[in-house]
Amino acid sequence: MSKVHNFSAGPSILPQEVFQQASQAVLDFNGLGLSLLEISHRSKDFIAVMDEAQALVKEIYNLGDDYEVMFLQGGASLGFLMSAYNMMGANKKSAYLTTGTWAKKAVKEAKSLGEVVEVGSSADANFNYIPKGFAVPADSDYLHVTSNNTIFGTQIHDFPKTEVPLVCDMSSDIFCREIDAKQFDVIYAGAQKNMGPAGTTLYIVKNDKIGKSSMKIPTMLDFKTHAEKESMFNTPPVFAIYVSMLVLRWIKSNGLAKIGQTNAAKANALYTEIDRNAMFKGTAAKEDRSIMNGCFLLNEGLDEAIGQNFLDLCKEANINGLKGHRSVGGFRASMYNALPLESVETLVDVMKTFESKFG
């Protein structure tokens, strides 16, 4: 079978060696004669998986024992509420940077708990840029940002410097580049982009922020509950955590510096072609373009129906998952960590062929 170039926005491409190891674990885990899917989550074999996954996160991001790493459930959609519950202080006031659909949903959850100040929003231009130069009220309990916006193709390249605690939803660009993780008090991310299959959500929380909320928090939404039980207050999603551990091993072996360089090269190849090709136009401000999700449209004046010709050419080249989000249309090339540069080069070739045939 010919290679499929997987540009899916998520659940997304993962390293092939991870699939091979994970499939073996489903059949026989650690030579136990039992599947990973049927062993106790409290067995020494799975506890070793959880311990390694947590340790790898700290090692990759150069974090110490002043941070707690948890693998929970509910996706970032639950994280919107969970982060607000746990970070809301005595002022019951939070600051949010609104840069897309998911950031708007995070704002909605926080508003159910207290006052929300939107310190910046790019809604005026359909979220095609990242607001800059905004002021954060000093009495805010925290500032929440969304690092990458899958639908609109923007990404924060320089995180704001602020005196209040910084919370970040990194679901779609976690581990895609080198960052100073120590500037964040809370990072949360659904696994299904760069880290593993759908089913688990990573939380990285500074210890001094656990158990300090002014809110009465439901048991399952309290960071303290899960920190004290080492992510095993209830049965964890064992398969998703195991695969995430394998991907974290892969990330460690490659190094964030190399991964970031490769991701930048992929994005540069795509955006160079979008800017050159008369058939297409990018949707995001150039300085804020995402290295994870390249969003683009047909150029002005072109019949929308011709877009199907482009998708047909993509299908012939075994390119999958290129249609844009239903809310914005167009095209979206998601270039997560495991996508090889070769796949982007194949897409660029198809874009050139489309221009020569229909331009």
Residue 33 confidence (pLDDT) = 97
Catalytic residue among 141, 169, 222, 288: 169
**Together in a domain, 166 and 212:** yes
Judged against a pLDDT cut of 60, whether residue 1 lies above it is answered with: no
279 and 150, same structural domain? Answer: no
For residue 124, pLDDT over 90 is answered with yes
The CATH number given to whatever domain includes residue 354 is 3.90.1150.10
At 326 the pLDDT is 86
Asked whether residue 1 is assigned to any structural domain, the reply reads no
**What separation in angstroms does the CA of 199 have from each of 231, 238, 328?**
14, 9, 26
The whole-number pLDDT of residue 34 equals 97
- Tens digit of pLDDT for each residue in 233-262? 999 999 999 999 999 999 999 999 999 999
Clarify whether residues 115 and 245 are in a common domain.
yes
pLDDT, average across residues 65-69: 98
- How confident is the model at residue 185, as a pLDDT? 98
Query: Which pair of structure tokens corresponds to residue 358?
Result: 């229909």
User: Would you say residue 327 has pLDDT above 90?
Assistant: no
48 belongs to a structural domain: yes
- Run of H or E including 316: helix 307-316
Among 93, 141, 173, 193, the one annotated catalytic: 193
pLDDT digits (tens, 9 = 90+) for 201-223: 999 999 999 999 999 999 999 99
- Residue 5 counted as domain residue: no
Confidence class for position 283, pLDDT limits 50, 70, 90? very high
Q: For 195-207, give the DSSP string.
A: TSSTT-EEEEEEG
Residue ranges making up the domain that contains 260 = 256-358
CATH code, domain carrying 50: 3.40.640.10
- Asked if residue 192 has pLDDT above 70, the reply is yes
User: Structural domain tally of the chain?
Assistant: 2
Cβ atoms of residues 176 and 189 within 8 Å: no
Same domain for 240 and 261: no
Quick check: is 320 in a domain?
yes
Q: Identify whether residues 230 and 319 lie together within a single domain.
A: no
Q: What's the Cα-to-Cα distance from 116 to each of 106, 119, 137, 156, 187, rounded to whole Å?
A: 10, 9, 11, 21, 19
27 and 76 together in one domain: yes
Q: Do residue 273 and residue 188 come from a single domain?
A: no
Query: Do residues 282 and 275 touch, judged by C-beta distance below 8 A?
Result: yes
Q: Is 169 a catalytic residue?
A: yes
DSSP 24-36: HHHH-STTSSS-G
